[in-house]
Amino acid sequence: MASGAGSNFESLVRACRLGHLAASVELLVVNRADCGARGRAERLGVPNELLDHHFHPTRENLDRALITAFKGKAVDLVVMAGWMRIVTPVLIEAFPQRLLNIHPSLLPSFRGLDAVGQALAAGVCLSGCTAHLVAAEVDSGQILVQAAVPVLAGDNRTSLAARIQVQEHRILPLAVALAAARLESSGIEGQQR
């Protein structure tokens, strides 16, 4: 799931295709027709679907459409890779322990929107990113992987976000592998297809 440029989406596709991640990306869902992730999916030959949130009267309605799309592809894990919409328990409960998010802060610090701006405003010397399981409360799910990024003198949103994004690309495939291994060991994988 993506709403923006799609660099995290592409990092997952590349990790799969290079054999660094024993998985495949079966579908990209975007909520904006003009988002860069869609163009990346087309270039990479990954099926993609537009589910514009403006055409869904409620968040739950959008989440039901997401469930239909993912179940149609029999996916085991769903990754929110720059999905800029809050999901509801409808989606979370459809993919228990199988819905991941990447967030540009060292959670539990700086949840929600503009985490990079929040970190800069707080004057912290260390920021980073977190891959976590999704829970009903925004950015509160179980942490799978984190990476620290120093905040440098003179950093602004753009410069700090760029360094954080490098680490997101590194940890997101690892988080997917960890989540998949947890599912396999618990026998959950494939049960909800």
- So what's the pLDDT on residue 37? 98
Query: Is 57 a member of any domain?
Result: yes
Q: Is 103 a catalytic residue?
A: yes
How many domains does the chain fold into? 1
Task: Tell me what percent of the residues of the chain surpass a pLDDT of 70.
Answer: 96
Considering the chain, what is the average pLDDT of its residues?
A: 95
pLDDT at 151 over 60: yes
Mean pLDDT (whole number) for 114-127: 98
The answer, yes or no, to whether residue 107 has pLDDT greater than 70, is yes
In the 8-state DSSP scheme, what is residue 183? Answer: H
Q: Give percent of the chain above pLDDT 90.
A: 94
Assigned domain for 190 exists: no
Is residue 140 domain-resident? yes
* Span 10-33, average pLDDT: 97
Q: Which of 20, 54, 56, 103 is an active site residue?
A: 103
Widest CA span in the chain: 50
| Residue 193 binned pLDDT confidence (cut-offs 50, 70, 90) | very low
Coil/strand/helix, residue 165: helix
* pLDDT (tens digit per residue) in 158-168: 999 999 999 99
Examine residue 50 and state whether it is found in any structural domain, yes or no. Answer: yes
Three-state secondary-structure class, residue 34: coil
pLDDT at 118: 98
Using the predicted structure, report yes or no on whether residue 50 has a pLDDT greater than 90.
yes
pLDDT at position 186 is 80
The CATH number given to whatever domain includes residue 134 is: 3.40.50.170
- Is 71 a member of any domain? yes
* CA proximity to 97, closest of 3, 191, 2, 1: 191
pLDDT of residue 117: 98
**Does any domain span residue 46?**
yes
pLDDT-based confidence at residue 145 (cuts at 50, 70, 90): very high
pLDDT of residue 135 exceeding 60, the answer is yes
Summarised one tens digit per residue, pLDDT across range 53-100 is 999 999 999 999 999 999 999 999 999 999 999 999 999 999 999 999
Tell me the pLDDT band of 188, cut-offs 50, 70 and 90.
low
**Are 57 and 72 contacting, i.e. CB atoms less than 8 angstroms apart?**
no
Residue 189 within a domain: no
Q: Residue 193: inside a domain, yes or no? A: no
Give residue 192's pLDDT band: very low, low, confident or very high (50, 70, 90): very low
pLDDT at residue 189 above 90? no
Task: Provide the residue range defining the domain that includes 149.
Answer: 7-184
Q: How far is the C-alpha of 34 from the C-alpha of 71, rounded, in Å?
A: 25
